[in-house]
């Protein structure tokens, strides 16, 4: 009844050149008509979540083995997510669903995760925003986690189309008030059953003790002191309630410029330490300038005298990256992975390197890693302290300082150590997540993926030195996704002050804050923890104590480190040559069925490792049992991955999208060779046909 619809745009009318080609015709869509009526999937709502609007008989288009398949279902929009409810999981076996994301289903898109919405009108793809005069026949949603959804609305009732399309546009694009964030309604509703994990050891840095502990851990307590001068954010709302400054710094200096111009301690090592400092406000008035100058001179004098000696100042506001550059690069880069269909994938394939490079995203990663190495060289080889300077000390300061710590401090390569680092440098350090992720849709100008850039830099390190980390790339990928899930409050505030005031007003208790530091815990089902937690990594607690000779050259320092086998418990530097900086394939390619390697990819070796790991554990238990009793239990612990020897390279993210083992064949041909044309025309060999 539905399959015989007439395709629009036919006939002799001169249509404008289509900018979007729908590769699926209604007659090509294979649907099981029974599904339409019989399979109703119930909408699962989180505590506090409310249904806003919905539409039925929406067709979700899925690419499968180079043909398109349509699944009928309901499209709903709540105050938390957009969800498609259809019988999509029919072909999935248990192995795959075992690794389901607990919060976000395969067809769920949180409102914050929506990046762009397109409508298809007469085969033309247009960006949708604001009030619509005409409603599209197809809705395409590009997500910030790089998923692409196609919803065909051709068979949906007109008023339902209007309601759902304008609902989705409104709830994802209209500016929002902070207090309207879903996490508040969730917290209120879920208060009773928010479980705190007692095993959570991540340090939150919201008490004086946390800072003292960190000082002690890094042996910085001789020269630095934790201060509570900003308790209750009396001095500055941008600074945390507690922080660490050089011991001789008079506490009364802190409030002079509302915390600006105060060197705030980040981290110490045996040979130096890193500070960050926000720049003083730019003043026109000569008198004020003079006062500022005198103040800074005083500060420098304080930190220049023994035991601080030399301080190298790195001004990250100039001579390094601009936030604008980062944003532009990422917008171009992500576009390479937001692929509408198979044809587009293969059409862009042969020319893929060029746009990937011209986005500069990889080059920006390289520059960040290089900057971190430069700073490490100062700290490690030249025994200098480093002062990172930035206007608000909350973007590139966070990035560079945390990269330095990941490379120098093995504790930061453990799971809790890494979470503590994120907490210290980014959350308490006042990175404006709300603005940088544009969660409230208030200003596009502030949107810059600084934290994502940091994760990508860390990924490069994890990729190059997997045994040095307690976590795997999957952990980082999941972490990057949780930026857009407004259940965890971690990434939804601009500063600890903002969080404290808002959480306080709403009488929220800490449990929520607790769970956010470890968004991973319970995010996947417990078994997957195995995968996320890098079993290769050992608990590392040793502090760096290698003594590097003083070298005045970055290259020399770097080459000398590279010439030795890496010590996974010590200083860890990335390789930054062109071929070494790679695309974070797991994050960027995971939803693209064409890019899926069936039964291959890194997960193939990882699952072998896990298998052996489990076996060794089982054997170990058996040996212990043997010691205790004669009766050996023959309990066969279910192996995590045993039955699924052929995981896809997209595991555990995209569920198996290609069911058959048919190969994917590139559909685009060869491009011109340009100046080699004459060579191409030549014969392989001179064919002498005299004797034929």
- Could you say which residues in the range 602-661 bind another protein, by CB under 8 A? 602, 604-605, 608-609, 611-613, 615-616, 619-620, 622-623, 626-627, 630-632, 634, 639, 642, 645, 649, 661
Q: Which of 105, 536, 551, 657 binds another protein (CB under 8 A)?
A: 536
Determine phi and psi for 630, rounding to 5 degrees: -75, -35
- Give the count of residues interacting with another protein (CB under 8 A): 86
- One DSSP character per residue, 643-681 reads T-SS-BTTTTTS-----S-PPP-----PPP-GGGHHHHH
Between 525 and 626, CB nearer to another protein: 626
Q: Which of these ranges, 2-10, 133-141, 168-176, 593-601, lies near another protein under the rule CB under 8 A? A: 593-601
Smallest distance, Å, CB 665 to another protein?
6
- 549 binds another protein, rule: CB under 8 A: no
State the residue for tokens 């293969």: 346
Contact 664, 594 (CB under 8 A): yes
Distance CA 464, CA 456 (A): 12
Between 16 and 578, CB nearer to another protein: 578
Q: Measured in Å, how far apart are the chain's first and last C-alpha atoms? A: 64
Binding track over 334-363 against another protein, x by CB under 8 A = -----------xx--xxxxxx-xxx---xx
Smallest distance, Å, CB 477 to another protein?
17
Rounding to the nearest 10 degrees, give the CA dihedral for residues 181, 184, 186, 188: -160
- 311 binds another protein, rule: CB under 8 A: no
Q: Which of these ranges, 165-173, 292-300, 514-522, 665-673, lies near another protein under the rule CB under 8 A? A: 665-673
Q: Which of these ranges, 280-288, 295-303, 411-419, 595-603, lies near another protein under the rule CB under 8 A? A: 595-603
**Ranges within 371-430 binding another protein (CB under 8 A):** none
- 12 binds another protein, rule: CB under 8 A: no
Q: Which of these ranges, 293-301, 421-429, 514-522, 594-602, lies near another protein under the rule CB under 8 A? A: 594-602
Distance CA 145, CA 147 (A): 6
State the residue for tokens 């990924």: 459
State the residue for tokens 């023959």: 634
State the residue for tokens 């301690």: 265
Smallest distance, Å, CB 659 to another protein?
14
Smallest distance, Å, CB 552 to another protein?
18
Residue spans of beta strands (DSSP E) within 189-317: 224-227, 243-246, 264-269, 272-278, 311-315
Between 98 and 442, CB nearer to another protein: 98
Binding track over 436-475 against another protein, x by CB under 8 A = -----------------------------xxx--------
Smallest distance, Å, CB 33 to another protein?
29
Sheet holding 114-121, edge to edge: 108-110, 81-86, 67-78, 51-64, 148-152, 138-143, 114-121, 124-127
- 45 binds another protein, rule: CB under 8 A: no
Q: Are strands 272-278 and 385-390 parallel, antiparallel or unpaired?
A: parallel
Contact 686, 508 (CB under 8 A): no
Smallest distance, Å, CB 588 to another protein?
9
Contact 71, 87 (CB under 8 A): yes
**Ranges within 317-336 binding another protein (CB under 8 A):** none
Smallest distance, Å, CB 458 to another protein?
17
For 685, other C-beta atoms within 10 Å of its C-beta total 6
- 9 binds another protein, rule: CB under 8 A: no
Q: Which of 594, 640, 653, 656 binds another protein (CB under 8 A)?
A: 594
C-alpha distance from residue 191 to each of 432, 483, 485 (Å): 26, 21, 18
Q: Which of 86, 167, 601, 652 binds another protein (CB under 8 A)?
A: 601
For 420, other C-beta atoms within 10 Å of its C-beta total 24
- 170 binds another protein, rule: CB under 8 A: no
Between 1 and 672, CB nearer to another protein: 672
Distance CA 281, CA 363 (A): 31
Between 252 and 577, CB nearer to another protein: 577
Between 301 and 642, CB nearer to another protein: 642
- 134 binds another protein, rule: CB under 8 A: no
- Helix 450-464 vs helix 361-376: angle between axes, to the nearest 10 degrees? 70
Smallest distance, Å, CB 252 to another protein?
47
């Amino acid at each position: 009844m539905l399959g015989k619809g007439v395709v629009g745009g036919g006939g002799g009318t001169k249509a404008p050149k289509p900018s979007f080609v729908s590769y699926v015709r209604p007659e090509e869509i294979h649907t099981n008509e029974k599904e339409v009526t019989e399979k109703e999937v119930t909408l699962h709502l989180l505590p506090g979540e409310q249904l806003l609007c919905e539409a039925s008989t929406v067709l979700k288009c899925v690419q499968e083995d180079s043909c398109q398949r349509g699944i009928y279902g309901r499209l709903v929009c709540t105050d938390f997510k957009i969800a498609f409810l259809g019988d999509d999981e029919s072909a999935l076996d248990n192995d795959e669903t075992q690794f389901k994301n607990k919060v976000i289903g395969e067809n769920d898109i949180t409102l914050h995760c929506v990046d762009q919405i397109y409508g298809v009108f007469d085969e033309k793809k247009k960006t949708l925003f604001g009030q619509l005069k005409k409603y599209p026949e197809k809705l395409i949603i590009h997500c910030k986690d790089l998923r692409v959804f196609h919803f065909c609305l051709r068979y949906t009732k007109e008023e339902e189309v209007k309601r759902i399309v304008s609902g989705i546009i409104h709830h994802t694009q209209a500016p929002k008030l902070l207090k309207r964030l879903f996490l508040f309604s969730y917290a209120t509703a879920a208060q009773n059953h928010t479980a705190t994990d007692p095993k959570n050891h991540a340090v939150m840095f919201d008490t004086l003790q946390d800072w003292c502990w960190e000082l002690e851990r890094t042996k910085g307590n001789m020269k630095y002191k934790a201060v509570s001068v900003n308790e209750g954010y009396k001095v500055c709302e941008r600074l945390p309630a507690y922080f660490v400054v050089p011991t001789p710094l008079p506490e009364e200096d802190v409030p002079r410029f509302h915390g600006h111009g105060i060197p705030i301690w980040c981290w110490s090592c045996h040979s130096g330490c890193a500070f960050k400092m926000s720049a003083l406000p730019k003043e026109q008035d000569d008198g004020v300038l003079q006062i500022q100058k005198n103040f800074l001179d005083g500060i420098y004098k304080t930190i220049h005298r023994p035991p601080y000696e030399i301080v190298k100042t790195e001004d990250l506001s100039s001579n390094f990256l601009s936030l604008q550059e980062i944003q532009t690069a990422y917008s171009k880069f992500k576009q390479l992975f937001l692929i509408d269909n198979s044809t587009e994938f293969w059409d862009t394939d042969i020319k893929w390197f060029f746009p990937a490079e011209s986005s500069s995203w990889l080059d920006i990663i390289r520059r960040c890693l290089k900057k971190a190495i430069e700073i490490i060289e100062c700290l490690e080889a030249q025994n200098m302290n480093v002062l990172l300077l930035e206007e608000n000390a909350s973007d590139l300061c966070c990035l560079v300082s945390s990269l330095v710590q990941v490379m120098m401090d093995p504790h930061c390569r453990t799971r809790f150590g890494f979470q503590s680092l994120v907490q210290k440098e980014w959350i308490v350090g006042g990175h404006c997540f709300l603005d940088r992720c544009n969660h409230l849709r208030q200003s596009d100008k502030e949107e810059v993926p600084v934290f994502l850039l940091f994760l990508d830099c860390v990924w490069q390190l994890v990729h190059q030195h997997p045994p040095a980390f307690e976590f795997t790339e999957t952990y980082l990928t999941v972490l990057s996704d949780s930026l857009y899930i407004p259940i965890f409050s971690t990434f939804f505030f601009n500063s600890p002050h903002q969080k404290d005031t808002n959480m306080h007003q709403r009488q929220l208790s800490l449990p929520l804050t607790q769970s956010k530091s470890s968004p991973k815990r319970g995010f996947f089902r417990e078994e997957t923890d195995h995968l996320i937690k890098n079993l290769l990594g050992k608990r590392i607690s040793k502090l760096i104590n290698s003594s590097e000779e003083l070298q005045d050259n970055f290259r020399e320092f770097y080459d000398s480190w590279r010439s030795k086998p890496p010590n996974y418990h010590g200083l860890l530097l990335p390789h930054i040559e062109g071929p070494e900086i790679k695309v974070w394939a797991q994050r960027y390619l995971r939803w693209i069925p064409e890019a899926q390697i069936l039964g291959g990819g890194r997960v193939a070796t990882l699952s072998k490792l896990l298998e052996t790991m489990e076996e060794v554990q089982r054997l170990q238990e058996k040996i212990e049992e043997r010691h205790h009793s004669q009766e050996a239990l023959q309990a066969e612990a279910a192996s995590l991955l045993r039955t699924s020897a052929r995981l896809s390279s997209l595991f555990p993210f995209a569920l198996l999208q290609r069911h058959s083992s048919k190969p994917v064949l590139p559909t685009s041909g060869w491009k011109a060779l340009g100046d080699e044309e004459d060579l191409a025309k030549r014969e392989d060999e001179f064919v002498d046909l005299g004797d034929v």
